[in-house]
Structure 1
C-alpha cells in the first residue's frame, strides 16, 4: 500500500535526523515509529502522548532535573538503591 503524508517541518526534520543518525532510510524509521505507536491500545497511546507532551512543555520552560536528581527521587519514592 502506498500512503503519502504531509509532515510538519519539525517532525520531518526529526525523522530525517533519526534516519541519518541510525544509518537507516527514512521510510524504515517512519514505519517503525508508526508500528510502535499503533502497538498501544487507545487509552495507553493517548496517555503516553500526553505525558510526553507534558515533559516537552516542562523542558521548554526550563523545568527539568538532572539524571542524578531523578534517580534520587525514584530511590526515595520506591525504596530503591539505584546509582547514576
Structure 2
C-alpha cells in the first residue's frame, strides 16, 4: 500500500481539489490498490479536473505516469470541447 492511506469512497472529510486529486491518483497508481477501489477513485479524480484546470495546475505541472497523463489529457480535452 502506498504511503497515502486508502480513501474511503464515502468520506465526508472536506479536502481541497488538489489534495483529493493527488490522493486518488496515488491510489490509482499503486499496484496494491484493488481494482474495485481504483474504479471508485476514477469519478472522484475526474470531478477535480475542472477546478484544477481553472487554477492552471496542468499548465504548471506534468504527470509523470504516461498512462494517467494520456487518460487525463483526453478527459481535459472533453471538458474543453464536449461531444467530440
TM class by shorter chain equals under 0.3
Relative contact order: is structure 1 or structure 2 higher (C-alpha 8 Å, sep ≥ 6)? Answer: 2
TM-score by length of 1: 0.26
Write 1 or 2 for the structure with the bigger share of helix.
1
**Which of the pair has more CA radius of gyration?**
1
TM-score by length of 2: 0.26
